[in-house]
Structure 1
Amino acid sequence: MNSSNLNISNELPLPSGKCIRDTSITQVVFPCLYTLLFTVGLTLNCLAAWIFFRIPNSTTFVIYLKNVVVADLLMTATMAIKTISDSGLGSWKLKVFVCRYSAVVFYMTMYINIILLGLISLDRCLKIAKPFGRAFIQNTTFGKVLTVLIWALMFFITGLPNMILTNKTPSASVKKCSSLKGPLGLKWHEAVNYLCQIIFWTVLALIAICYTFISKKVYESYKNSRRNDKTTTRKTKARVFIVVAVFFICFGPFHFMRVPYTLSQTGTLSDCRAQNMLYVAKESTMWLSATNTCLDPLIYIFLCKVFRKILFNTLRFKPNTVQTNETQTNAEENAMQ
């Protein structure tokens, strides 16, 4: 691929009105970054899957975490395909495969992950609100049915239609995934993007509400028991806000710029320079979103006591934090175990 020609076309619009995408950066830098994510993410999530395989589905909390691991493993697998395609090591047919299937799975698992983290936050909030009882939505059967519905709905709304509607006859000159979509495919793609925006902001609001409530209860517990251990308080706060931190770091930037990028794909934005700038911004924030495959294991360690115990026992490492769990307040245990 001649990058110099791409740079020229980025400065001047083509006579046909089409805009050639500048992929000079994404062919070199991002494949290296995705390779790093793939290596770390695959290692961490395979270890997490092995540990969760040993944990029974005794609570909805564990069920949700197991589904997060599955979503992360699928997302990690798509990174390897994207890396080969973007670096130019594969044929143009691999690029078509990425557009039709791999990229669709990437986005689908991203939003399944987002929904599941919202459910985890709600589950922790209900646990601290009713420490000695269970709401019906904390029933394990309900959790299993709900997760199956989430996977099915996301597949049949965001996954399968985008795969089917990427139906134009491909050629070796394919550069943009949107060029493989017909008018209906572009409209569906745009609608799905707006739906995913709604999902993200709804879940983010839910997480903020839930963890505000949790942090308030934890603070009240320390205040009532007159515990002044500042080190323990800092650790508690870090654990409480780990989900919120993952959301802001991984998913916030991507969703701020996804709407303008979608508009550029569907033909609303005609300026070639702006389209290429949005493309680079989208790729950068998408990589940041993909880092959740490496950060989610931190959530398992901080929030799941059983996972933490098996991990430390496997590594034959017993830190003081494990020994002091028995002396923590009931509010902290309910919120973070």
Structure 2
Amino acid sequence: MAGSYPIGVPGQAWGATELAAWRARQRRQRSYSEDVVSAIERLGARFEVVQYGRIEYPPDSYPLFAVRSRDWRDGLPCVLVTAGVHGYETSGVRGALLFLDREAARYVDRVNLLVAPCVSPWAYERIQRWNAQAVDPNRAFREHSQAPESAALMRLVEPLRGRFLLHIDLHETTDSDETEFRPALAARDGKPFEPGQIPDGFYLVGDSENPQLVFQSAVIEAVRRVTHIAPADARGQIIGSPVVAPGVILYPFRELGLCAGITGARYTTTTEVYPDSPRATPEQCDEAQVAAVCAAIDHALSQ
């Protein structure tokens, strides 16, 4: 698919016809209810489950759930874990659920945990990056958001702004970024597709306005015990950005409308697991996400 996409006219941004054609190509491949909602329901005995919104893409309707500490205490700092902002990034969703099931209990007396395991359920079911409107939720965390998924999460978080110690957003970088999603983006926006390079391994994206490199490096070192860390390319970059510490690059979170920029937390990061690596299993990818969450909380609390 290098340089082309089967929808639209090169050089022309999509209109309603192209959007409808793109949406018609999307097929439900897995169940949000069976995979995610059922797992959240099982956690209800140990945590408080809150519905913070509903996404309507007729005929589909998706309740949005977050899981929070049952013993919520105003004197404790808040920790936000988000996943499934890009629905196709599976280890983020599974890693968030695994963290809740296996590791969260050891933190609930020290922090108020708030976990949104699957922010974009329509995309989760279709193994897609965008929502049904061909909008990337992870570029839409801004005022008057075009993505209802992003707007709902911002409404959930807003009453707690200023109280967050940490926000970690769980993502993946996949081969399909290069074969499907970036060509689709170029076609949607009427721009030429410029091929890139997918890094082999785990890396982090920190905030260029608040890098916290000691924190980022602590997370990298914890994940290194689970899976390999992406090296810099020949230009000293990962996905076109300079490597500022082993396995760490920086983006301006708020300027780009990224999820990890919504809390104003002291510590923020975005994980990037590489599930297509021949050196990593799906289980390792899930474990890498869990290791990253635990290391992030541990470091934040140690400071």
TM-score (norm 2): 0.23
Higher helix share: 1
TM-score (norm 1): 0.21
